[in-house]
């Protein structure tokens, strides 16, 4: 067995040799971080000095695409809720289909003579008929039909082609019973649908305790009149109108008293 003195001496030798082993280990972590940051700053300064000393090969300017004055071909498509303001803004799929006629338009000579007076006196009004109900329309009016028109959407352009009267402040063109649709144009735009408040009606029978509730909520189609126009004699002749003699059924322009 070892004596206490030998053990003490061995322990003292270990204490003396400990600093030497620790000094040979890895450096302190804080000192390593400071050394790394110093080297990183030095490398950044060296890179910045090289960039400042070197000159760019090409001058700093905008990209060639930004400098071109030619318009781009990619045009944004209009949104779904886009409402055209005139006929040129109306897309092709929204324009009404032109009617086809087997016979040319027959116009009397007196009507051709008085038609320029009616054309030059704007604005015009028209008494259009829809389901045999007359509607007095002028440009800018809002019309609420007493029913929900099927197969129409907001933004659709419709044309009223059946009218019993067409006139201005001093002149009126009356049909017998209707005016030929080739003499005028009345276009309306569907703006949406409207609905009345919910109505509840109670129905019962005598000597019965059962009460039946009937709910109803009618929907209507709302339109706005965009154009009421009378065609000029030149337009009628260009479309193939034929001048005929006076007849009993031919429409005529009457001057208001």
Task: For residue range 25-72, list pLDDT tens digits in order.
Answer: 445 544 545 455 556 667 777 766 665 555 555 554 444 444 444 545
Give this prediction's pTM.
0.57
Percent of the chain at pLDDT exceeding 90: 43
Mean residue pLDDT across the chain: 77
Q: What are the angstrom distances between the C-alpha of 34 and each of 25, 75, 174?
A: 18, 58, 101
Helices and strands (DSSP H and E) totals, the chain: 5, 13
Give CA torsion, residues 208, 209, 210, 216, to 10 deg.
Answer: 100
For residues 153-161, average pLDDT: 91
pLDDT at position 103 is 85
Least confident of 4-8, 183-187, 213-217: 4-8
Supply the pLDDT for residue 96: 60
Question: Residue 139: its pLDDT value, please?
Answer: 94
- Contact between residue 106 and residue 241 where contact means Cβ atoms under 8 Å apart: yes
C-alpha 205 chain-centroid distance? 53
Domain-by-domain residue ranges, the chain?
106-192+224-242
Q: What percent of the chain is predicted at pLDDT more than 70?
A: 62
pLDDT at residue number 94: 62
**What average pLDDT does range 204-228 have in this prediction?**
93
Query: What span, in angstroms and rounded, lies between the C-alpha atoms of 146 and 46?
Result: 84
Q: Using pLDDT thresholds of 50, 70 and 90, give the confidence band for residue 245.
A: confident
Q: Categorize the per-residue pLDDT at 184 as very low, low, confident or very high, splitting at 50, 70 and 90.
A: very high
pLDDT at 50: 63
Over residues 162-174, mean pLDDT: 92
Residues 65, 70, 74, 77, CA torsion sign: positive
Closest CA to 125 of 158, 90, 169: 169
């Amino acid at each position: 067995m070892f004596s206490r003195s030998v053990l003490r001496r061995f322990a003292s030798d270990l204490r003396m040799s400990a600093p030497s082993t620790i000094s040979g280990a890895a450096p302190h972590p804080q000192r390593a971080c400071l050394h790394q940051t110093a080297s990183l700053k030095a490398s950044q300064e060296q890179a910045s000095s090289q960039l400042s000393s070197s000159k760019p090969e090409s001058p700093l300017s905008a990209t060639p695409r930004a400098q071109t004055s030619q318009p781009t071909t990619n045009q944004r498509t209009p949104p779904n809720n886009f409402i055209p303001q005139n006929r040129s803004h109306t897309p092709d799929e929204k324009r009404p289909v032109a009617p086809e006629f087997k016979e040319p338009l027959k116009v009397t000579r007196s009507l051709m003579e008085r038609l320029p007076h009616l054309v030059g006196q704007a604005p015009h009004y028209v008494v259009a008929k829809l389901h045999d109900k007359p509607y007095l329309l002028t440009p800018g009016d809002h019309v609420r039909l007493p029913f929900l028109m099927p197969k129409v959407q907001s933004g659709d352009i419709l044309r009223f082609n059946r009218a019993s009267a067409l006139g201005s402040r001093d002149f009126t063109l009356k049909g017998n019973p209707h005016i030929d649709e080739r003499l005028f144009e009345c276009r309306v735009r569907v703006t949406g649908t409207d609905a009345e408040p919910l109505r509840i009606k109670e129905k019962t029978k005598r000597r019965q305790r059962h009460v039946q509730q009937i709910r109803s909520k009618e929907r209507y189609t709302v339109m706005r009149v965009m154009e009421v126009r009378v065609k000029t004699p030149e337009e009628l002749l260009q479309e193939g109108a034929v001048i005929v003699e006076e007849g009993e059924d031919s429409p005529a322009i009457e001057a208001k008293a």
